Amino acid sequence: MPEFTWDTLDAAATLAAAHPEGLINLSMGTPVDPVPEVIRRALADASDAPGYPLTAGTPALRAAIAAWVSRACGAGVDGLGVLPTIGSKEMVAWLPTLLGIGPGDVVVVPSIAYPTYEDGARLAGATVVRTDSLTSVGPTSRVRLVWVNSPGNPTGRVLPAAHLRKVVDWARERGAVVASDECYLPLGWSAEPVSVLSPQVSGGSYAGVLAVHSLSKRSNLAGYRAGFVAGDPALVAELLKVRKHAGMIVPAPVQAAMVAALDDERHAEEQRERYRARREVLAEAFTGAGFTVEHSEAGLYLWLTRGEDCWQTVDWLARRGILVAAGVFYGPTAGQHVRVALTESDEHIAAVAARLA
Ligand SMILES: Cc1ncc(COP(=O)(O)O)c(C=O)c1O
């Protein structure tokens, strides 16, 4: 495996920390707002949990996931497989292995992408192809898995339903699986994100498709490790079987907390409005400082460029006490971009605007 990319930001972090008013960290995208009370109560109420939890999730959790998927993704629940995961990163990292993908197989990932898609393919010993256009994948290659991510990290790009539909059709013709990482689905700003489970994309069948979801950002639950996968019931059954053997189980109190989180839209809407407001302040501030905002029509980040090498931009911002992620973390074609997360307090977001003015 490669070195952990974030370590390469250490020098910029030291520079930013030397700012007289302190460091403002827009690099990682880790939630900072409180865990909603309704979720904390459910976790506490379920804390007497001496027995082993169910890998498949409690019946209450399975029902809550299916109901949420039906509401948020426009999916029918008949024949839908669901399975809780220990956050979504582990599912992204282990999906190729859990599906039995290995050496000689190909995993397709977006050209500019969350690094864990590639890491997961490496863990399985598979070959990675980075592309946004499946026509560039040779006809003979053994593609077993295609990752899509809309809204995308880091770009905030939303893929239209027709694009997703083409990916699903292409994969079904070849017997490949489409895994759609939809952890930012609830954060649409100037475009409406579409789930792979929506009938416009899936054609009403879940064959060969999996949607990967997370409560980390929707419900400020990154610390709880709460995610789930939904889609093809046969694939989900296979994942369940392997995960039972491997002991990949969501803790019982977290399962109870997930039910409370999924059943409540009010806290998610409040959190969304916080991000909306922060996004507006940051977009105006960075644009005013000469940055161009690209894509960013949804999700948790602004994707920015000043038309120069990303490390120059990282350094320029670090001198103002602002730490951002370098575009190269996400792919070789992203060397002139930086990623700015919306996950800082309102006070710090206002301070970013003041420092850039
Ligand atoms: C695109 C994408 N997928 C998955 C994850 C993993 O999130 P978690 O493990 O908190 O569910 C992240 C986290 O930032 C992400 O950006």
Per-residue pLDDT, averaged over 213-218, amounts to: 98
Return d(Cα 321, Cα 332) in angstroms, integer: 26
Site to probe by mutation for ligand 1, drawn from 114, 180, 184 as the one with most ligand atoms within 8 Å of Cβ, is 114
Statement: residue 339 has pLDDT above 70? yes
What are the tokens at 167? 């990916």
Q: What mean pLDDT value characterizes the chain?
A: 97
**Nearest residue (CA) to ligand 1, atom 5:** 89
What are the tokens at 103? 């050496």
Amino acid (1-letter code) at residue 316: W
pLDDT digits over 16-74, tens only?
999 999 999 999 999 999 999 999 999 999 999 999 999 999 999 999 999 999 999 99
Tell me the pairing of strands 127-130 and 106-109. Answer: parallel
Cβ(250) – ligand 1 distance below 6 Å:
no
Amino acid (1-letter code) at residue 111: S
What are the tokens at 13? 């972090």
139 CB burial (10 A radius; 0-12, 13-18, 19+) = exposed
Report in angstroms the alpha-carbon separations of 241 from 56, 167, 259, 332: 9, 27, 23, 37
What are the tokens at 325? 């992620």
**Nearest residue (CA) to ligand 1, atom 6:** 89
Instruction: Round to the nearest angstrom and report the end-to-end CA distance of the chain.
Output: 41
pLDDT score at 140: 65
Cβ(214) – ligand 1 distance below 6 Å:
yes
Return d(Cα 348, Cα 282) in angstroms, integer: 11
Return d(Cα 121, Cα 126) in angstroms, integer: 5
114 CA distance to ligand 1 centroid (A)?
Answer: 8
Atom of ligand 1 nearest to the CA of 92: 4
Contact between 324 and 28 (Cβ < 8 Å): no
Return d(Cα 115, Cα 118) in angstroms, integer: 6
pTM of the model: 0.98
Cβ(325) – ligand 1 distance below 6 Å:
no
Return d(Cα 195, Cα 73) in angstroms, integer: 5
Amino acid (1-letter code) at residue 49: A
* Cβ neighbours for 14, distance < 8 A, ≥ 6 positions apart: none
Q: Which alpha helices (H) appear in 224-345, and where do they start and end?
A: 233-246, 252-263, 266-288, 310-318
Return d(Cα 254, Cα 243) in angstroms, integer: 17
- Across 61-65, 140-144, 276-280, least confident range: 140-144
61 CA distance to ligand 1 centroid (A)?
Answer: 20
Amino acid (1-letter code) at residue 73: C
pLDDT digits over 81-126, tens only?
999 999 999 999 999 999 999 999 999 999 999 999 999 999 999 9
Instruction: Look up tokens 């498949």; give the residue.
Output: 56
Cβ(153) – ligand 1 distance below 6 Å:
yes
Atom of ligand 1 nearest to the CA of 89: 9
- What SS3 state is found at 84? strand
